[in-house]
Chains A and B, each alone.
Chain A
Amino acid sequence: MSARYQVIHDTHYRYDSPVSLAQQLAHLWPRPCAWQRCTEQVLQISPTPTQRRDEWDVFGNPLTRLAFERQHEQLQVVARLQIEVLPRAEPQFSASPAWEQVRDALTYASQPLSGELLQACRYRFESPYVHLKQRFVAFSESCFAAGQPMLLGVQALMEKIFSEFTFDATATQVATPLVEVLERRRGVCQDFAHLMLACLRSRGLAARYVSGYLLTRPPPGQPRLVGADASHAWISVFCPTQGWVDFDPTNNLRPALEHITLAWGRDFSDVSPLRGVILGGGNHDPEVQVTVMPLDEYQV
C-alpha cells in the first residue's frame, strides 16, 4: 500500500523596505529516493528571478539557485508537489550490530574504506548546528549500554527525547544552541532532530538530518485546514548491516508512509527550505504556510 499526497509549501516575505539585490537557495524539490515517486512538481516564484539555476548540491539534493537583481518589496516562493510514498522494508532492530562495533567500523584504522562507509562518515562530525559535547554522551548514556544493538539504542534515544521534551513552537528559534534546548527541555522538530544527531555523533555514530513534511490529522470532526501544517525534520542513522534507518524524535515513530522526504544533509543549514542573503529589506519575518493533503481528499 502506498500513499499519495498533494503538498503546497508557500513562503512569503513582505519586506519593510525595498530589497535591491537578493540571492536565495531553495531546497524545495524532493530528492529522488527509492521509496518516493514525484508525479508533479512546480515552483512558482514572484517576482520573476533574474536568474534561476536548478542543480544538485553536494549531498545529492536538488537545489534551486535564485537571484533577484531588480528592486522588490515582496518575495513569494510556492512549491507544489504531488508525490507518492511507498512502503520501506522494516529493519531488524535486534539483529543490528552492537553500537560500539558500528562506531569502530567508522573510525580510522589505516585501512581502505568502502564507498558506503565513506558516505556515512560525512555525517559523523560537527556541523554548524550540531556541536559535539560530553553532555550529549551523558544524556544518552542510559540508551546505549555496553553491547546494546545499535538500532535498539537509537530507538531508546528517540523515546527518551520524546518523553522528556515538550514540543513548544515558541521556545526556540532557528539559532537556539542545543545546550539551551537540552536545558529547557523544549523545542521544535528541528531542535529534537539536532539534539538526537548530537547524541549519536558524540558517540561516534553517523546520522544525518532529514528535511521534509508530515501528514497531520485535523482534530476529530474538523476539516483539514489549508496551510495549517509545517515543514518537518527527523533523522536517519547509518547501520552497516541495515543501511540508513529513519527516526522521528518529535513524534516517537519510524517514518513510513506519512513522512515525505525532501532533502538530507549534516543539519538544517545544509538543507534549509529557503535561505539567502538580501541587500536592504529591513525586518523580514516570512509567512510560511504548508499544506499536506492526501491526494484523494485534495481532488474532492
Chain B
Amino acid sequence: MPDLFDACPVSPGTYHEMLEGQGQVREHWQRVCAYLQRSGRAQLAQRQASLTRQLQENGVTYNVYADPKGADRPWELDLLPHLLPACEWQQLAAGVAQRARLLNAVLADIYGPQQLISEGLLPAELVYGHNNFLWPCQGISPPDGTFLHVYAVDLARAPDGRWWVTADRTQAPSGAGYALENRTIVSRALPELYRDLKVQHLAGFFRTLQQTLVHLAPGESDSPLVVVLTPGRFNESYFEHLYLARQLGYPLVEGCDLTVRDATVYLKTLSGLRRVHAIMRRLDDDFCDPLELRTDSALGVPGLLDAVRQGRVLVANALGSGVLESPGLLGFLPAINQRLFAEDLCLPSIATWWCGEPAVMARALEQLPQLLVKPAFPSQSFNAVFGRDLDKAGRQALAERIQARPYAYVAQELAQLSQAPVWQQEPGQLQSRAIGMRVYAVASAEGYRVLPGGLTRVAALADAEVVSMQRGGASKDTWVVADTAPSGEQWRTQHTLGVADLIRKDPYLPSRVVENLFWFGRYCERCDASARLLRIILTRYLDGDDPLALQAAVTLADELSLLPEEGTLPERVRAALADSDWAFSLRANLQRLQWAASQVRGKLSRENWQALVELQNESRSLENQTADFGEQVDVLNRLVMSMAALSGFALDDMTRDEGWRFLMIGRRIERLQSLCSSLAVYLRGPTVFDQAGLEWLLELGNSSITYRSRYLAVAQLIPVLDLLLLDEQNPHAVLFQLNLLVRAYGRLSKEFASSPEPALALLADQLKHFDLRSLEDSLFGAASVRAVLTGLADLLQSIATASGEISERLALRHFAHVDDVSQQTVSV
C-alpha cells in the first residue's frame, strides 16, 4: 500500500507548508502527520465524507454568476487545515494590523485634505481615475475616523518562507463568514487534533466586530439596530451574508427593505418603520445610493449617503473605501507609511509596476513576458493577462493598449505560491496544491485586531499557479497553533442573556419577508391543488374507462384556468404541466413558489430548505419532453409528496411568529379559494351524483382514505359533502379552513388595530347552518334538490370571492410600501 504522503513531494523553488527542503516534516506539522498515519485511509476518507455532507447540509454554496448549471454549486472544503505556528502568526498579524491602520489613514486623507496627492506621494490618477472614488463622499468624516471596519488582505508565501501581499480588500471583504463556517465544520471533523494543537479561537474577532459597530453607531441606544445589507440572493456570496447575519444576530436586509426619511434610515417592518443605526454592507460602494452614487442601480437605498453625511447612520465599511482596491497602489504604500507613521511596512507586497509613470512603464514593457498585466480600476473591461501567454503580436498590441492610457494598467510579478497537502478522497492520499490565504482585521478601540486564522484557498489543479474563489478549487480552515491554551471561549452568538432579554417575536421582520411568506404559503397550496387536479385528469385519461368523469374534471380545470385552451387534450395537459411560458402552468407556479421561498430563506430551517431543493429537482423532471403520461403521473405523485412535506414543515417546524401567521393565512386563503371554486363548479355540473365524479372529488380534497374508513361504501353526494364542506375536524373541509381564517384574520386586525372583516364570519355562519337534509327531502322533487345545490354553489363562490378580498386587504395594509418600485428621474 503506497504511503499517504507519497504524492506530496517538495517541488524545488517553492515553499512547502508541511515539508522542509529535505522532505522532513516541519515541527508544527508533526503531530498532525502522526495523527494522519494513525488514522489510516479509511477513517480519513470517512471523515472527509462526513465533512462534505455537513457542508452540503449547511448549503454552503458559492454562487458564480453565469454558471450554466444554475446559481448554486458546492464549495469544497479540505479536511486538512492550513497550520501556522503562533510565533510566525504574531509577526504576520502585526503586519496585517499595521497595513489596516495605514489604509485607514490613506482613506482619511483621500476623503479629507488630499495631502498625499498634493505632496506627490499618491498619484491623482489612482484616486480620481478610480470608479470607486466617490466624489460625493469627499469631506465626510466617519465616527472616530474609522473608514475600514473590516479589512482583508490576500497573501502568498514566497519560496523563502515570507508572506507577501498580493491584494488588499477594503470595500466589503468577503470570506470571513466562510472562515467561521470552515472552522465549525473542520473542528468537528478533527476534534482530537483541534484540542491537542491548542488552536486559537475565532470568537474574539466577531465579538470585536459587534462591539465596534455598537460603539460607533450613532444614537443613545445601548442596543442599536445593526443590519447586514446584501445585494440579494443572486450575489455570488449570498450564503455568506446569510450565515454571517445569523451568527452576528443581525437582520439580513436588501436595499428595498430600508427607507430614508429625514436623513434617517429605517427598516420597513410589519409593525412599522424602525430606526437603523448601523449597516454592515455587502453591497459595492457605487451601488449603495441611487440618488447620489450610481444612478442606474436599483440595489441601494436612496438617500443613504446623506444619512451618513448627517451622522445619522454608520455604514461599515465607509462608503467609498473601495478606492483602495487597486493594484496600482501597492508600490506607493511603503513611502506613505513612512510619511504618516515613520515606520517601515512589515509585510512586503508583490513587486508591482504602475504604468502611470513613463519610466516605470518603459521598464514594465521591457519585462512584459515575465509579468502579469492587470487593470488598475475595476471598471475597466480588461482581464488580467500573463505576458508569457502572448505571442509577439499579442505583446505588441498589449503594449499599445497600455501606452494609450498608461495609468490604467499595472504590471506585477507572478506570485509564487506555497504548496500545502490536501486530502484527496480518490485515491486516498495527500497531494500538494498551491495555496493562498486571506486574513482579516477588524477595527477596535485599541487598534486593529486580526482574526487568528483566515480563509485559505486551494488551487483546483495540481499544476495551477493561481487560486481564485471564482474558478473552482477548495478552501481550508486556517489554524494558528499555540504553545498555550487559547484564551477566551469559543464563538457563540453574543453575550449571556437573562430573562430581561427574552424575545418572543422577531421585532425586525422586514415587510418584504412577510409578504413573501404569505405568497410562499399561497403558492404551496396552489401547486398542490393543481398537481392533484392534473393527476386526476391524467389517471382518468390513462384508464379511459369513464369519459364522463374525465370530462367533468377537464371542465373543472377549464373553469379554474388550469388548462390552456388550444390543442388536443394530451397537448393541453402537457402544457398545463410544464409550459413555463404559460402563466398558469404547474411549472410556472412552482417557479413562483421557489422565488418566494428564496426570498424568505432566512426564515426556513435547514431541513425545510432541503425539502425545497428536492421539490426543485422534482419540478425539473416535469420538463422532460420524452416522458410518457405514466412517468408524468409518477412525477406528480412525488410532487404531491414534497408539497405534503412542506406543509408539515409549516405546521411543525416554524416558530409561530407573525411571519408564520401570514404564511398560514396565505395557505388558508389559497386552499379555501381552490376548494370552494372546485366544489362550486362541481355542484353545477352534470356529474353531481355520479360515483366516479365523487371519487375524484374526494381525491382532489385529499379525503378518500377518511371517506373509505368511515363509510365502507362507494362515494355518494351527502357524505362526500359532509366531509368536504362541513366536517370541522377535516383540514380539507371548507368550514375547517374558513373558521381558522376568520380567527387568524380577527387576531391580526386586533393587533394592528384595523377593521375586522364581518363578511367572512357571516359566510362561515351561513355555511355552518347549511342543512344537508335539504338534499334528502324529496318533497319538491329533483328540481328542488337542483335549486339547493345551486344555492350552495353560490355560497361557496361567495366564500371564494371573500377570501380573495382578504388577500387584497392584507396586501394593501401590510405590503403596500413593499410593492412600489423606486425609480430614477432626471430632467434637463
Contact = CB atoms under 8 A, between A and B. Distances in A.
B81 interface: no
Nearest to B296: A175
A120 B183 CA distance: 51
Most buried by A among B138, B294, B295: B295
Contact of B822 (A112, A137, A266, A278): A278
Given A277-B291, A279-B822, A122 B357 contact: no
B404 A13 contact: no
Contacts of B822: 277-279
B307 to A, nearest CB: 11
A48 interface: no
Nearest to A104: B358
Contacts of A50: 262
Given A125-B129, A137-B404, A58 B825 contact: no
A58 B136 contact: yes
Contacts of B128: 121-122, 124-125
Interface stretch (A18-26, A176-184, A244-252): A18-26
A23 B291 contact: yes
A100 to B, nearest CB: 12
Contacts of B295: 128, 269, 275
B155 to A, nearest CB: 28
A276 B291 contact: yes
B827 A110 contact: no
A274 B822 CA distance: 17
Most buried by A among B120, B294, B306, B823: B823
B303 A23 contact: yes
Contacts of A277: 290-291, 302-303, 822-825
Interface stretch (A151-159, A216-224, A280-288): A280-288
A298 interface: no
B118 A112 contact: yes
B820 A230 contact: no
A126 B125 CA distance: 10
Given A58-B135, A59-B135, A174 B823 contact: no
A272 B828 contact: yes
A212 B296 CA distance: 24
B139 A58 contact: yes
Given A20-B817, A132-B405, A278 B827 contact: no
A23 B260 contact: yes
Interface in A3-23: 11, 13, 20-21, 23
Given A108-B356, A281-B823, A231 B828 contact: yes
Interface in A207-255: 230-231
A120 B259 CA distance: 37
Interface in B288-333: 290-292, 294-296, 302-303, 306
B825 A275 contact: yes
B123 interface: yes
B828 A174 contact: yes
A118 B124 contact: yes
Most buried by B among A65, A107, A132: A107
B119 interface: yes
B826 A272 contact: yes
Contacts, number: 129
A112 B119 contact: yes
Contact of B825 (A112, A270, A286): A286
B261 interface: yes
A113 B379 CA distance: 26
A108 B259 contact: no
Contacts of B205: none
B135 A270 contact: yes
Given A50-B262, A112-B120, A128-B295, A118 B114 contact: yes
Contacts of B407: 107-108
A13 B825 CA distance: 10
A168 interface: no
Nearest to A275: B826
A91 B135 CA distance: 30
A276 B825 CA distance: 5
B351 interface: no
Interface in B789-828: 817, 820-828
Contacts of A132: 405
B356 A107 contact: yes
Nearest to A107: B356
A188 B358 CA distance: 38
B591 interface: no
Given A23-B303, A275-B827, A286-B825, A118 B117 contact: yes
Contact of A288 (B125, B259, B261, B827): B827
A111 interface: yes
Contacts of A134: 404
A288 to B, nearest CB: 6
Contacts of A276: 291, 824-826
A136 to B, nearest CB: 10
Contact of A23 (B120, B302, B356, B358): B302
A110 B120 contact: yes
A274 B827 contact: yes
A115 B119 CA distance: 10
Contact of A278 (B117, B119, B261, B825): B825
A185 B515 CA distance: 49
Nearest to A113: B118
Contacts of A231: 828
Contacts of A113: 117-118, 120, 124
B702 interface: no
B118 A115 contact: yes
A185 B715 CA distance: 78
Contacts of B56: none
Interface in A108-165: 108-113, 115, 118, 121-122, 124-126, 128, 132, 134, 137
Contacts of A121: 117, 124-125, 128
Contacts of B823: 277-278, 281, 284
A241 B118 CA distance: 19
Interface string B344-373: 000000000000111000000000000000
Contacts of A108: 120, 123-125, 356-357, 407
Contact of B259 (A21, A115, A125): A21
A284 B825 contact: yes
B290 A65 contact: no
Contacts of A11: 827
B716 interface: no
Interface in B109-158: 114, 117-120, 123-125, 128-129, 131, 135-136, 138-139
A279 B357 contact: no
Contact of A58 (B138, B260, B379, B821): B138
Contacts of B404: 134, 137
Interface in A77-121: 107-113, 115, 118, 121
A73 interface: no
A232 B226 CA distance: 45
Interface string A256-300: 000000000010011011111111110010101000000000000
Nearest to A118: B118
Given A108-B123, A275-B824, A286-B827, 11 more contacts: A59-B135, A67-B262, A67-B303, A107-B125, A107-B407, A108-B120, A110-B120, A112-B119, A118-B114, A124-B124, A124-B128
29 contacts: A13-B825, A20-B817, A21-B261, A23-B291, A51-B263, A58-B138, A59-B135, A108-B120, A108-B123, A108-B356, A108-B407, A113-B118, A113-B120, A118-B118, A122-B128, A124-B128, A125-B125, A125-B129, A126-B379, A174-B828, A202-B405, A274-B827, A276-B826, A277-B290, A277-B302, A277-B823, A278-B822, A279-B820, A288-B827
Interface of A: 11, 13, 20-21, 23-25, 50-51, 57-59, 65, 67, 69, 107-113, 115, 118, 121-122, 124-126, 128, 132, 134, 137, 174-175, 190, 202, 230-231, 266, 269-270, 272-281, 284, 286, 288
- The 4 A-B pairs of least Cβ separation, nearest first, read A108-B123, A277-B302, A125-B129, A121-B124
